[in-house]
């Protein structure tokens, strides 16, 4: 009898600790996410025929105002926040990102990380921790928990050589595998710069070890979405009950960010996407040419509702009367 009472007391204590320490771990079914990709903030260069560098900051500021009206739960940045790995530019990016009315979470892209000095990964970590009170990073790959959702940020950049290719190190893939194993009852959203299912072929921008990455994902059934950028184009495709979404750039047509709503029930995960385009552009870009159409993608890449099979098991509840965990 004494052992049973002690077990129940321990369970109550653990439950209380979860409530207070994991305060952000709620029980919501729905999460609303805004994804920015490839902001390429650049306050030093003039506009180019395609990339509107001189407008990158005012466009970003206008987009932030739009996001505050939408009022998502969180904002994620899938890399290339700045155009060059310059500390001052990254400071300007963070200063403006802090005008968001909600927490934001960045992952690095190849333009963010300096190889020969400039903005190193360690400096990025320090600056993010200084400006984001809700984060205490020790690595550029990390995860957060929001209700029923586990959001993993994966760094595939190479800080040893200048390259547009993505490579996810052995340690990074082990981190992913370990995290997916630790949280089998969470629905997982991965945010990274380099897409596993790119919108078009580009050998200079591919992931060098994509098959090894897929091997990790295929061992688990709790990943529902992978968000990425890098190609400056809109795309959505499914593989093995996972939705792979690529979002276009802010500095190139269609000057967009993506607004996602993710909801679920026992049978399905429902993902709704809205591509918020044309961030108050006043310049006269040619939006009818083949490249512009490629960047915008198909209507099914932009505004859609996708229903996936819910393969994530429900977390057992603790039955205090019996002193055991039971399925919901």
- pLDDT of 318 over the 80 cut: no
**Which residue ranges make up each domain of the chain?**
28-326
Contact criterion met (CB below 8 Å) for 114 and 161: no
Q: What is the pLDDT of residues 138-194, one digit of tens each?
A: 999 999 999 999 999 999 999 999 999 999 999 999 999 999 999 999 999 999 999
Q: What is the 3-state secondary structure (H, E, C) of 97-161?
A: HCCCCCCEEEECCCCCCCCCCCCCHHHHHHHHHHHCCCCCCCCCCEEEEECCEEEEEECCCCCCC
Between CA 243 and CA 308 the distance in angstroms is 8
Q: Which CATH number fits domain 28-326: 3.40.710.10, 3.30.413.10, 3.40.50.300, 3.60.21.10?
A: 3.60.21.10
Angstrom distances, CA of residue 131 to CA of 89, 90, 118, 124, 282? 14, 11, 19, 11, 32
Binned at pLDDT 50, 70 and 90, residue 26 comes out as very low
pTM given for the model: 0.89
Between CA 250 and CA 41 the distance in angstroms is 9
Which is it for strands 242-246 and 223-228: parallel, antiparallel or unpaired?
Answer: parallel
Q: What's the confidence (pLDDT) of residue 283?
A: 59
Choice among 9-13, 87-91, 165-169, 192-196 with the minimum mean pLDDT: 9-13
Largest CA distance in the chain: 79
Q: What is the pLDDT of residues 56-80, one digit of tens each?
A: 999 999 999 999 999 999 999 999 9
């Amino acid at each position: 009898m004494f052992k049973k009472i002690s077990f129940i007391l321990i369970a109550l204590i653990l439950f209380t600790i979860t409530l207070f320490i994991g305060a952000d771990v709620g029980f919501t079914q729905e999460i609303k996410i805004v994804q920015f990709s490839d902001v390429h903030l650049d306050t030093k260069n003039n506009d180019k025929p395609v990339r509107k560098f001189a407008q990158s900051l005012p466009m970003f500021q206008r987009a932030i105002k739009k996001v505050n009206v939408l009022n998502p739960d969180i904002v994620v940045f899938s890399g290339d926040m700045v155009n060059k790995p310059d500390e001052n530019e990254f400071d300007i990016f963070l200063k403006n990102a802090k005008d968001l009315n909600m927490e934001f979470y960045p992952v690095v892209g190849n333009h963010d990380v300096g190889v020969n000095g400039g903005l190193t990964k360690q400096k990025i970590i320090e600056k993010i921790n200084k400006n984001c009170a809700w984060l205490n990073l020790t690595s550029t790959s990390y995860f957060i928990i929001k209700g029923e959702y586990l959001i993993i940020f994966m760094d595939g950049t190479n800080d040893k050589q200048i390259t547009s290719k993505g490579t996810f190190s052995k340690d990074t893939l082990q981190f992913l595998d370990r995290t997916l194993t630790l949280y089998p009852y969470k629905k997982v959203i991965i945010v990274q710069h380099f897409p596993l299912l790119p919108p078009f072929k580009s050998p200079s921008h591919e992931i060098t070890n994509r098959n090894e990455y897929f091997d990790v994902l295929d061992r688990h059934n709790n990943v529902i979405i992978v968000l990425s950028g890098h190609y400056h184009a809109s795309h959505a495709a499914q593989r093995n009950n996972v939705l792979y979404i690529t979002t276009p750039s802010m500095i190139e047509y269609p000057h967009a960010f993506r607004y996602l709503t993710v909801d679920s029930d026992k049978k399905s995960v429902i993902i709704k996407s809205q591509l918020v385009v044309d961030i108050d552009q006043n310049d006269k870009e040619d939006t009818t040419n083949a490249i512009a159409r490629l960047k915008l993608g198909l209507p099914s890449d932009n505004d859609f509702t996708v229903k996936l099979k819910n393969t994530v098991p429900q977390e057992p509840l603790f039955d205090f009367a019996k002193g055991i965990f039971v399925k919901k």
